[in-house]
Amino acid sequence: MVAVVVAAVAMALTLGRDDEPGTDAHVHIDPITTADEVAVAVMAGIHTWTPAQQQSPWDAMHAISGQLTGQMADAATTRPDPDPAPGQWSAWARSGDRVIGAASLAGYQDPVPQDASEARRLVTVQQKVLHPDGATTPLERITATVELKRTGETWKVASYQYRSVGE
């Protein structure tokens, strides 16, 4: 009986051991290359914040500066003074909240022509505050016009303008 228990414990320890950490090295992730993909990714990135670790939303824009061009790239280079932040920023930071921005194209839009050097996309952003206890609080929906320029083979965001907030 003791031998069976010892063997069962040894087997459980051997099977339960995870010598190698998990990895996603085998997963191929396609690069974001189309105007639509870049517009959506940039708008989600600009609207995703970690207030406890960031001074303001500018930090989010600065983090994705490689996907920006023109006035957006210029704005992402130097922190503004004063550095504007939403009124709730301090409370979110104290609470350890994160603000997650999810973006998508707003409705049907004609495809961007293959030979285009500029594009305009309408993007909807929905932000949610993710609280440490797992609860979420939705923020107002944002719709923005995003201007893109092709630099070589790469699309980059040149500017965006809010069309509506909360509608």
The one-character DSSP state at 158 is E
DSSP letter, residue 66 = G
Residues whose CB falls within 8 Å of the CB of residue 13, separated by 6 or more in sequence, listed in order: none
Output the pLDDT for position 23. 63
Which domains does the chain show, CATH number per domain?
32-79+89-165 (3.10.450)
Nearest to 48 by CA among 126, 104, 154: 126
- What mean pLDDT is predicted for residues 7-25? 50
Strands, DSSP E only, in the chain?
A: 98-105, 118-130, 136-151, 154-165
- pTM value surpassing 0.85: no
Q: Which amino acid is at 62?
A: H
CA proximity to 106, closest of 36, 32, 6: 36
The 10s digit of each residue's pLDDT in 20-62 is 566 656 666 677 889 999 999 999 999 999 999 999 999 999 9
pLDDT tens, residue by residue, 93-142: 999 999 999 999 999 999 999 999 999 999 999 999 999 999 999 999 99
